[in-house]
A and B are shown apart, each in its own frame.
Chain A
């Protein structure tokens, strides 16, 4: 699937865009300096869950939009998994048609306010921006602008409910209400299907709710997007584990014609080193779920949380950053990242690492835990860490960490959050013995169609990719919707 160049050209030649382009010389545009996102002061923000990035003002957004050259060949779009018409929405911001800009986003992205906050734009659209590629300058802040337009629409109270095609009367089931499932739901609903989303937890949103913390993505932002889906006619069933509460076969008997599995990455991985089951050592999933989904840090809720004074988070991904910054907010005196490679190799978004550093997170890089020690009550009190050095680059070009002999030392800890990745959720596959799986226990799908070995089952997001970003999951949801639509039209011919 790729954007039709003729369509882009046609759009670009619309009068208002031609006029807009002529209002400023390219030199004037490129001379402008990239906008700075207002952030809450680190000392203040670590005391609460306030969102770190405060968004752009209207004027800031318009100024930034002026930097965009409205290129004839907008390479930025190739960097976007859901192929947002980036120049079109940015130029709408430039001419202060903010709601129009949001509409452009909504054409291809179900959750623009989410993407504007959590996408690794520096690796995607912004990496493909003309400024980055040719001018070697800071790219247009596409992510900030996306967020601006989406927030503007949310705040305006004039949320556009996407148009929905006449009802086809065909029931479609979606398993999991995370970014892949929600996107798929939106896309299928637009096409006129009768869409049902089944969620195992008691809240809709998947990783957007239980995983990503409030200070990075407020739940209210997600809820607004979910409300739109509800208004479009998507049905949501919480507390429903497909494969357990009812199997796919049961649902087929109840009339569902197609299934989309977006059940995400479920099982947390551990390192299987001695002492890892002591009290106080938990997965990032458990830690973040207790805090984000169960609101455990709030004294008025029943879910308990133990978050200590010396918190070590193992790993270098976004989840690790979310966990360690959460620990800081829960009052840790020492909140540490322990990562076996160097900071350059970390999978986390650059912005998250930067924010973490500002907040006083200690980065203990080139270090790997070997063993945990507990007090007499079985509560973790120390960890033995081995220093690493970087050896030769491996096939991904990253340098392999090699242990340094005799470099072990102890760190005092009372909480350890293990954030070394997750394995795909086994609930669906285990209830479908015929479903083909990969070596990583992800569902095997056709790369283009996202169709599994069982033709009426499509899948996307982490259950297919293992562990990807929100935006890739959304891209999958979009792609799968198009191909399931095709599939259903073909079989009903």
Chain B
């Protein structure tokens, strides 16, 4: 029995991929993750937004009185990008030297400017794949949903033109017709779609009447959303689907695989339980597989997706009627 599967078409020994996070930002912790059985890792993202903020908060205030230093700082954001990129390239090179699992670079971008060309540089640095996290905030009330969707496809097409390593795109669920959009994305040439990313959430402190940060980690029930959509989109999309958000236990992983995911991304659980939790998750999957008599992941992957289900309509229910009639406590 083995846990072999593929991630973005690359063979991996476990379906558990460590998602982009602080744990994947240094060579040491990545080695630890690899030793504990991660199938692959997605490096902590380079954030376009972070660079813009750094530029605006730390650099521009340095512009002297009477704008004297403006010429020096006018394009300094390029310098910052260059430094960040260089550090990232060395991280890729370091990690690639130390581990034999696939190393996926990750970019969080908000525009389709020169960021696209950076993809090529990450490939040259040795990344096995690239994950693209497009932060087109769905809150932009000046843009129609069509424009936003179009910009996703445009960015992806420009990147695919530049690189030969597989590309994954990580999206949010906030699309008007998510199923149709996922299908369209899957035809754009990406090797995988990661469902879904979590946006930073806000909360209110009602005593001080202040906006505060919402929960940083995913909740135990958050997996239900990707579960449904992977089930629905399995076999309807032309690329791998990868589950992300709320995958905290080996049971969750199994559910995702049954829904048709090729692999899952885990982050919050590793923050809470440590890297060794990967071992536990892997062995949890194996135990279940042996109890069911499965030898490989392929033998049960997608068994519970909508297309293979007896009652496909259940996946599309949006009201709770049936819940009340069928659900047994």
* Contact between chain A and chain B defined by CB under 8 Å: yes
- Point out residues on A near B: beta carbons under 8 Å: 79, 120, 123-124, 127, 265, 269, 271-274, 315-319, 347-348, 368, 370-371, 386, 394-396, 398, 400, 402-403, 405-406, 420-423, 440, 462, 465-469, 472
- B160 interface hit (Cβ, 8 Å): no
- B207 interface hit (Cβ, 8 Å): no
* Assembly CA distance A395 to B55 (angstroms): 9
* Assembly CA distance A123 to B71 (angstroms): 14
- In whole Å, how far is A279's beta carbon from the nearest beta carbon of chain B? 20
Which residues of chain A are near B151, meaning CB under 8 Å? 405-406
**For residue B86, which residue of chain A has the nearest CB?**
A272
Chain B, 146-167, CB within 8 A of any chain A CB: 147, 150-151, 154, 162
Instruction: List 14 A–B pairs whose Cβ atoms lie within 8 Å, in order of A's numbering.
Output: A269-B75, A271-B114, A318-B71, A347-B71, A394-B55, A394-B60, A396-B61, A398-B60, A400-B52, A400-B56, A422-B72, A440-B62, A465-B68, A472-B64
Which residues of chain B are near A396, meaning CB under 8 Å? 56, 60-61, 63
- In whole Å, how far is A417's beta carbon from the nearest beta carbon of chain B? 14
Chain B, 32-76, CB within 8 A of any chain A CB: 52, 55-57, 60-64, 66-76
B67, A347: Cβ atoms closer than 8 Å: yes
Query: B55, B69, B73 — which one has the most chain A CB atoms within 10 A of its CB?
Result: B69
Q: What is the total number of residues of chain B having a CB less than 8 Å from a CB of chain A?
A: 37
- In whole Å, how far is B224's beta carbon from the nearest beta carbon of chain A? 33
* Assembly CA distance A353 to B175 (angstroms): 46
B74, A123: Cβ atoms closer than 8 Å: no
* Assembly CA distance A347 to B63 (angstroms): 11
A127-B66, A440-B76 are known; give 17 further A-B pairs, CB within 8 A.
A269-B79, A271-B114, A273-B114, A316-B74, A368-B114, A370-B117, A371-B117, A400-B56, A405-B150, A420-B78, A421-B71, A421-B75, A422-B72, A440-B62, A466-B72, A468-B72, A472-B68
* Assembly CA distance A445 to B67 (angstroms): 20
Which residues of chain B are near A395, meaning CB under 8 Å? 56-57, 60-61
* Assembly CA distance A382 to B76 (angstroms): 25
Which residues of chain B are near A348, meaning CB under 8 Å? 71
Which residues of chain A are near B114, meaning CB under 8 Å? 271-273, 368, 370
**For residue A418, which residue of chain B has the nearest CB?**
B75
Which residues of chain B are near A318, meaning CB under 8 Å? 71
- B112 interface hit (Cβ, 8 Å): yes
- In whole Å, how far is A321's beta carbon from the nearest beta carbon of chain B? 10
Query: B56, B60, B68 — which one has the most chain A CB atoms within 10 A of its CB?
Result: B68
Which residues of chain A are near B111, meaning CB under 8 Å? 402-403, 405
The contact string, 1 if C-beta is below 8 Å from chain A, for chain B 99-123, is 0000000000001111011001000
**For residue A269, which residue of chain B has the nearest CB?**
B79
**For residue A471, which residue of chain B has the nearest CB?**
B68
B78, A272: Cβ atoms closer than 8 Å: yes
- In whole Å, how far is A121's beta carbon from the nearest beta carbon of chain B? 10
Q: Is the interface of B mostly helix, strand, loop or mixed?
A: helix
**For residue B61, which residue of chain A has the nearest CB?**
A395
- B82 interface hit (Cβ, 8 Å): yes
- Point out residues on B near A: beta carbons under 8 Å: 52, 55-57, 60-64, 66-76, 78-79, 81-82, 85, 111-114, 116-117, 120, 147, 150-151, 154, 162
- In whole Å, how far is A463's beta carbon from the nearest beta carbon of chain B? 12
Q: Is the interface of A mostly helix, strand, loop or mixed?
A: loop
- In whole Å, how far is B64's beta carbon from the nearest beta carbon of chain A? 7
Which residues of chain B are near A269, meaning CB under 8 Å? 75, 78-79
* Assembly CA distance A402 to B52 (angstroms): 11
* Assembly CA distance A271 to B78 (angstroms): 6
* Assembly CA distance A197 to B269 (angstroms): 64
Which residues of chain A are near B61, meaning CB under 8 Å? 395-396
B72, A265: Cβ atoms closer than 8 Å: yes
- In whole Å, how far is A189's beta carbon from the nearest beta carbon of chain B? 27
A120, B117: Cβ atoms closer than 8 Å: no
- Other-chain residue from A274, A347, A440 in contact with B70 (beta carbon distance below 8 A): A347
Knowing A271-B78, A272-B82, A395-B61, the reply to whether A421 touches B72 (Cβ < 8 A) is yes
* Assembly CA distance A31 to B70 (angstroms): 35
- In whole Å, how far is A247's beta carbon from the nearest beta carbon of chain B? 27
B71, A317: Cβ atoms closer than 8 Å: yes
- In whole Å, how far is B269's beta carbon from the nearest beta carbon of chain A? 37
* Assembly CA distance A344 to B77 (angstroms): 19
B74, A317: Cβ atoms closer than 8 Å: yes
Knowing A406-B154, A466-B72, the reply to whether A273 touches B117 (Cβ < 8 A) is yes
Knowing A272-B82, A421-B74, A465-B64, the reply to whether A394 touches B69 (Cβ < 8 A) is no
- In whole Å, how far is A426's beta carbon from the nearest beta carbon of chain B? 14
A271, B66: Cβ atoms closer than 8 Å: no
A124, B66: Cβ atoms closer than 8 Å: yes
B117, A405: Cβ atoms closer than 8 Å: no
Which residues of chain A are near B154, meaning CB under 8 Å? 405-406
Which residues of chain B are near A371, meaning CB under 8 Å? 117
**For residue B118, which residue of chain A has the nearest CB?**
A272
**For residue A276, which residue of chain B has the nearest CB?**
B117
Which residues of chain B are near A421, meaning CB under 8 Å? 71-76, 79
* Assembly CA distance A383 to B85 (angstroms): 23
